[in-house]
């Protein structure tokens, strides 16, 4: 009776380890699939004048970044000079700011950050003070997204989570294999 009880405990522990390993991955995967982490990604032109994005909706009560991205860095002397504002569907300004200065390398710039309410329908207005048409050949895009640092600090860094889960699951599977080997050895000694 004692061996049966010990084996049952080991099986429960092994299965629990496997469940503990899989649960965070399942949660992280579900969380990423049920939230729109990038509610706006739209091509834009950086010619002098005003650009209005399509409406988009944020579904988290966290800070979002407003960025201009492009395929590759256009020119060492490239410069941007613009005002931006986020406006809700009633016309109220949610956040506004300016960006002015040279672009020093990279494939994008962060214009600013803001924290909208969950479910807020909004759009962005860009007012370009000067032409920055050297960017147009590199497919500029206006993007609103959850910062990567938020995902990492919230425990949603998937590669690390996968590594941890594999280690815990392997320990659980190893425990199950040991139990199976012990049972087979015990059956062989009983049959002999």
Its pTM stands at: 0.68
**CA dist., res. 170 & res. 152, Å (int):** 24
Same domain membership, residue 123 and residue 49: yes
How far is 88 from 98, CA to CA, in rounded Å?
18
Looking at the fold, whether 72 and 133 belong to one and the same domain comes out as yes
Looking at the structure, do residues 83 and 60 belong to the same domain, yes or no?
yes
In a domain, 151, yes or no: no
Q: What is the pLDDT of residues 43-97, one digit of tens each?
A: 998 889 999 999 999 988 889 999 998 887 666 667 889 999 999 999 999 999 9
Higher pLDDT, 77 or 110: 110
With the CA atoms of 111, 112, 117 and 120 taken in that order, what torsion angle do they form, in degrees rounded to the nearest 10? -10
Check: CB of residue 125 under 8 Å from CB of residue 84.
Answer: yes
pLDDT tens digits for range 125-175: 999 998 876 777 778 899 999 987 655 545 455 666 667 777 777 777 777
Please answer whether residues 141 and 124 qualify as being in contact, where contact means their C-beta atoms are separated by less than 8 angstroms.
no
Q: Where are the strands (E) in the chain, listed by range?
A: 40-43, 49-52, 56-57, 64-69, 79-88, 93-102, 108-114, 121-128, 141-145
Expressed as residue numbers, the domain containing 63 is 40-145
């Amino acid at each position: 009776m004692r061996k049966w009880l010990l084996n049952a405990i080991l099986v429960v522990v092994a299965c629990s380890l496997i469940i503990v390993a899989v649960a965070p991955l399942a949660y992280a995967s579900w969380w990423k699939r049920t939230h729109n982490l990038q509610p706006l990604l739209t091509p834009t032109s950086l010619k002098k004048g005003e650009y209005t994005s399509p409406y988009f909706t944020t579904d988290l009560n966290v800070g979002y970044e407003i960025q201009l991205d492009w395929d590759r860095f256009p020119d060492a002397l490239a410069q941007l000079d613009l005002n931006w504002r986020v406006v809700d569907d009633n016309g109220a300004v949610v956040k506004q700011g300016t960006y002015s200065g040279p672009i020093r390398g990279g494939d994008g710039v962060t214009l600013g950050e803001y924290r909208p309410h969950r479910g807020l329908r909004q759009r962005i207005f860009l007012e370009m003070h000067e032409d920055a048409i050297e960017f147009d050949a590199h497919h500029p895009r206006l993007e609103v997204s959850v910062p990567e640092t938020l995902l990492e600090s919230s425990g949603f860094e998937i590669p690390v989570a996968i590594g941890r889960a594999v280690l815990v699951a392997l320990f659980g599977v190893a425990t199950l294999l040991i139990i199976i080997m012990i049972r087979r050895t015990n059956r062989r000694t009983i049959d002999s």
